[in-house]
Amino acid sequence: MRLKEFKGTKIRSNVMGIPITITKKVIGRAARCEVEGKFQWDLNKKTSSWIQTTYEALYKNNASNK
């Protein structure tokens, strides 16, 4: 089937005959941020401590800017 070897999660497409590959690294460069991070599954919005942490990170330790 002429598939390329799997080397990680990627989005592959073909635009006007030009092969395009989008990886986490490409998205990080475009957003001008690091590619590292954390992900929490099944987050309870009312009881999670991550909500306060997220607000502090986004609003520079000032959660009153909600």
| Predicted pLDDT at 13 | 92
Quick one: pLDDT at residue 64? Answer: 54
Q: Which residues of 15-37 are buried (b: 16+ CB within 10 A; e: fewer)?
A: eeeeeeeeeeeeeeeeeeeeeee
pLDDT for position 60: 66
For the residues 50-54, what does the mean pLDDT come to? 77
Query: Residue written as tokens 């490409």?
Result: 26
The domain locations on the chain are 11-65
- 6-41: pLDDT as tens digits: 878 888 899 999 999 898 888 888 888 887 777 667
Q: What pLDDT was estimated at residue 62?
A: 53
Question: Where would I find the H helices in the chain?
Answer: 24-31, 50-58
Tokens of 53: 């942490």
> Residue 10: exposed, middle, or buried by beta-carbon count in 10 A (0-12, 13-18, 19+)?
middle
Q: State the pTM of this model.
A: 0.43
